[in-house]
A = this chain, B = another copy of it.
């Protein structure tokens, strides 16, 4: 059953806002464009959607091709389609945001992406296209969603200390949080389970915890709603 009349079609791309956390501030992964337009500018990783793949698959493929990242948390963000956002013509872009753990290391070496590097979200270079808008929206979404969805853990190693988790929240939300209240509240929901591992180093060792998705899911099914 083909089309009886062919409407003109915009080009379709995906772009990814890739967040990381280095223990200090929130970072975004940018690539330096190796092709026109905006050659040499920093941009979000992304590219054209193939005809046989769905949109999530396209985003994952581009992430793999341009940054060698695999198995990251990925969620659709928004679709940007203003005429004029790309000087080559009408291009509609489905934007995603991704969260990567510190131990997943991006590498570089693709044709369209000459270089990939982490940039602190609070100190960004000028970006190609409307990527600054996309990035801003990704940040808003992350800030909003981290307060009621268990996505913060996707930015930490599988096993983490409560202090690391608190610092992550503080970095994303941009405000300090009381240590005792933070721990009390999070441990009350029993989806953070203590492991028997500890950090080593110059000071008192900290217990490592992990996020237990099974427990979280079962709480959610019971109508439970976590916040901050």
Contacts and interface: CB of A to CB of B under 8 A. Distances in A.
A54 interface: yes
A140 to B, nearest CB: 14
A68 to B, nearest CB: 22
Interface stretch (A75-83, A114-122, A151-159, A198-206): A75-83
Interface string A1-29: 11100011111100000000000000000
B7 A81 contact: no
A90 interface: yes
Contacts of A12: 9-10, 12, 81, 92
Interface residues of A, number: 31
A89 B2 contact: yes
Nearest to A92: B12
A55 B37 contact: no
Interface of A: 1-3, 7-12, 36-37, 48-55, 76, 78-79, 81-83, 87-90, 92, 94
